[in-house]
Amino acid sequence: MPAADPLTTSDVPASLLVEPERILLGLDFDGTLAHVVDDPTQAFAHPDSVSAVARLGHVLGQVAIITGRPVDQALALSGFSGMRGLEHLVVCGQYGAERWDAATGTHLRPDRPASVARLAEVLPGWLAAHDAAHVRVEDKGLAVAVHTRGIDAGLIHALDAPLRALADELDL
């Protein structure tokens, strides 16, 4: 597929060129700043995307990253913390359940629900008992993800109702 033509100033609404400080740029992490990979701990932000975001941070009113990842993980994989140009970056982790503000260093993170802690504790054994010990589990702190990529569709279907029942049992 040929590369898209670069934007010119005639492609951008005039109001954005006059007042770029009124613009909020919101980005996802996986698939936008970093490639989607099988192991989420290896999804490092592409250096060119980090550089581009930092350059935009100098002229835009706000840059925000909204991700399903925990904030600490997004910051570690991106290298954004303390980067020149991103002094006002906001990262909303776990789909907004937690928030980090570069300007203040404030990291708001709710306490981990007891039901999520219990799920993280019992899920590996539960999966083993359901012939699914190989299924990858990702503990995000405020959530636990069961990754289905690469798993046989029949197993996913077989786990659906029992996993929903476990979630109901744990009041999730």
* Whole-number pLDDT of residue 1: 38
Domains contained in the chain, CATH given = 9-108 (3.40.50.1000), 114-169 (no CATH)
DSSP code string of 22-47: G-EEEE-SBTTTB---SSGGG-PBPH
* Whole-number pLDDT of residue 12: 65
Distance, in Å, from the CA atom of 45 to the CA atom of 76, rounded to the nearest integer, reads 9
* Whole-number pLDDT of residue 9: 60
* Whole-number pLDDT of residue 58: 86
- Global pTM reads 0.80
* Whole-number pLDDT of residue 140: 92
Per-residue pLDDT tens digits of the chain, which is 172 residues long? 344 455 466 666 676 677 888 889 999 999 999 998 888 889 999 999 999 999 888 888 899 999 999 999 999 999 898 888 899 999 999 989 999 999 999 999 999 999 999 999 999 999 999 999 999 999 999 999 998 888 899 999 999 999 999 999 999 9
Residues 101 and 93 sit within 8 Å (Cβ to Cβ): no
* Whole-number pLDDT of residue 10: 65
Residues 119 and 111 sit within 8 Å (Cβ to Cβ): no
